[in-house]
Structure 1
Amino acid sequence: MPRRIDHEGRSRLIAEAVCRLADEHGLEGVTLRDVAARAGVSMGAVQRCFRTKEEMLLFTLGQIGDRIQERLRARRLESPAQSAMTVLGHAATEIALLQEEHRAEARVWLAFLAQAAVSTPLAKTLKANYAALEETFVRLLSEAVGTTGRATAARDPRREARTLLALTDGLTAHVLIGHLTPQEAQDVLHAHLAGLWGAPGDPAP
């Protein structure tokens, strides 16, 4: 009887290999042959999952986004009664990838961001990811204003959402190149979030 192949599981295994190689060498160091060797599978196995390198990179980018979203869902489930302000703070921190255990993920994310500047398919995927994150921030900002009555963020929730999204990306880059320590970046993020509720300098919720 023919052996059944878990294509989804193998695709995730390959995506992990892509991330490890991209973390070490950037996306220019990612080849189908090297990915196959790192994943412990044959070139044919990689090609059965992905017809092209670009297709493989798109899947990997989606996996990174899924991991971030899964962490956000897990934090929400841990404390279902937390306020929208608190959820927004957690979401911004996760997206900024400031924790030491997420440093490799941050390097890979920025490698994809750089590649997207010259790859229309990657840019399209990243734009969709950013649009979804923006909508999440808009919703949380609107919920927080509605429950607290503190109106600094109410002036234009979408503009504030875009500002916060740009800030998280910038902090990721500044930490990776050593301009800021993770704690300094966290302080910047906390101060910005506190300012949204009309209380500059207060710790983030």
Structure 2
Amino acid sequence: MPKQVDHDERRRQIGDAVCRVIASRGLDAVSLRHVAAEAEVSMGRVQHYFATKDEMLMFAFEMVSARVAARFGAIAADDPAQHLRAILLELLPLSAAAREEAPVLTAFLAHAVVEPRLGEPLRKGSGEMVAWLAGMITAVRPGGDVSRDAMALLAFVDGLMLQVLIGQVSPEAAVDLVDHQLARVLTCG
């Protein structure tokens, strides 16, 4: 009886390899040869699942985005302020999973500046995140310009992520800064 092949699992295996290459060597190092070696598969297998480098990159980006979204969905908090805080902290490279994904997300953000196709899902995701954050802010502090506050919080955390990645800000200081900024937003509508 022929062996059953899980094509989705094979695509994920290759997507994980793309992420590891990006995290260790940067986005420019993503090539058929490097990804195949990292995934420990033949170049033919990579080509079977992805016709182009862009397809590999988009798939890897979607994988990482889905993982982040799943972690957001797993956050449970009865208090809207604590839920909002937990989401903002999850965007920082504090947990093992977030530390692995942050360099990959950062590389995608930088690449989106020059690649409109990648920029579109980032803009869409950012808009959805701002709307969600605005709703959380409203649950704690109705009134004021919650959309602007949400956008400012997201931009703040994005910048803080980079500073933590390069070692300019320690993880402990990042948590303190999030708490400080969040307190300002939630009390100064």
TM (norm. structure 1) is 0.85
Inter-partner Cα distance in structure 2 for 1:49 and 1:134:
34
Structure 2 residue 161 is matched with structure 1 residue 165? no
Inter-partner Cα distance in structure 1 for 2:132 and 2:32:
35
Unaligned runs of 5+ in 1: 147-153, 200-205
Alpha carbons 1:17, 1:35 under 8 Å: kept: yes
Q: Aligned pairs, how many? A: 188
Alpha carbons 1:58, 1:125 under 8 Å: kept: no
Q: How far 1:74 sits from its partner (Å)?
A: 1.5
Structure 2 residue 18 is matched with structure 1 residue 18? yes
Out of 122, 132, 141, the residue aligned to residue 136 of structure 1 is 132
What amino acid is aligned across from residue 119 of structure 1 in structure 2? E
SS at match of 2:103: helix
Deviations 1:51-97 (A, max 9, x none): 11111111111111111111121122xx5xx1111111111111123
Alpha carbons 1:84, 1:144 under 8 Å: kept: yes
**What is the RMSD computed on CA atoms of the aligned residues?**
1.7
**1:203 aligns to what?**
none
**1:202 aligns to what?**
none
Q: How far 1:5 sits from its partner (Å)?
A: 2.3
Inter-partner Cα distance in structure 1 for 2:40 and 2:120:
30
Q: How far 1:39 sits from its partner (Å)?
A: 0.9
**2:177 aligns to what?**
188
Inter-partner Cα distance in structure 1 for 2:137 and 2:45:
45
Out of 146, 156, 176, the residue aligned to residue 145 of structure 2 is 156
Structure 2 residue 80 is matched with structure 1 residue 71? no
Deviations 1:98-141 (A, max 9, x none): 33552231111111111111111111121122122112111211
Inter-partner Cα distance in structure 2 for 1:131 and 1:11:
28
Equivalent residues in 2 for 1:77-96 (5 A)?
79=77, 82-96=78-92
What amino acid is aligned across from residue 159 of structure 1 in structure 2? R
SS at match of 2:48: helix
Deviations 1:37-59 (A, max 9, x none): 11122222212221111111111
Out of 79, 94, 99, the residue aligned to residue 98 of structure 1 is 94
SS at match of 1:163: helix
Alpha carbons 2:36, 2:42 under 8 Å: kept: yes
Structure 2 residue 104 is matched with structure 1 residue 115? no
Equivalent residues in 2 for 1:2-41 (5 A)?
2-41=2-41
**Deviates most, 162-171 or 122-131:** 122-131
**2:56 aligns to what?**
56
Inter-partner Cα distance in structure 2 for 1:115 and 1:35:
18
Alpha carbons 2:93, 2:164 under 8 Å: kept: no
